[in-house]
Amino acid sequence: MIGIVDYNAGNIKSVERALTALGISYVISKNPEDLKDCSKLIFPGVGEAAYAMDQLKKSGFDVFLRNWVKESKPLLGICLGSQIIFEYSEEGDTQCLGFIKGKIRHFNSLDDSMVKKGIKIPHMGWNNITEQNGGSKILANVPKDSDFYFVHSYVICPEDKSIVKATADYEVQVPAVIQCGNIYACQFHPEKSGEKGMMILRNFCED
């Protein structure tokens, strides 16, 4: 059974609907207790890092997720959920969950020439990804150079670059897929990336 973490951070219904369309059974809950018997967790999120961390603490999901990761159970972070599993985010100067070493930085703080060059932020729309460091299990059977739907202004900057399994080119190389042990993360929205995004969800959910 797949668990979906509901912590009042944006549109998680789209993840729910994607799993329904794939015929994958899931539990969605605001209460960590309801998800304790799941075998895998999807950790979605749209919104602001500080607010999201606040919601995670209030609901007890911060502790629940920490224990989950300690037990090496599979976790898939999506968008904001792919970011706040790192240690710190410049967004709202926020201490995050710290499951993986690294920071989340704004595009402009990474490369201050982006504004001058007229590059629009957020990085929004369809961008192709290139596999790095041998790719990841969740990218199995996904055709090379497939496009996925991105919407973000902050970028994952992991300490260990070898955990970056795919990148997208947007003036800087944007980490798009992360795999670190049993923690998986997509900066883009697989649930809004058409059939190729659905393949990623299926790859994660089915073993």
Catalytic residues: 79, 189, 191
C-beta of residue 81 within 8 angstroms of C-beta of residue 186: no
User: Does residue 50 belong to the site contacting another protein (CB under 8 A)?
Assistant: no
Structure tokens at 28: 């969605």
Nearer to another protein, 40 or 123 (CB): 123
User: Does residue 91 belong to the site contacting another protein (CB under 8 A)?
Assistant: no
Segment near another protein (CB under 8 A), from 28-36, 44-52, 88-96, 104-112?
A: 44-52
User: Does residue 54 belong to the site contacting another protein (CB under 8 A)?
Assistant: no
The site for another protein, by CB under 8 A, has a size of: 33
C-beta of residue 92 within 8 angstroms of C-beta of residue 48: yes
3-state secondary structure of 163: helix
User: Does residue 13 belong to the site contacting another protein (CB under 8 A)?
Assistant: yes
Residue closest to 107 by CA, chosen among 150, 148, 164: 150
Question: Quick one: angle between helices 13-22 and 194-205, nearest 10?
Answer: 80
**Binding-site ranges for another protein (CB under 8 A):** 10-11, 13-14, 17-18, 20-21, 46-48, 120-128, 147, 149, 151, 169-170, 189, 191-195, 197-198
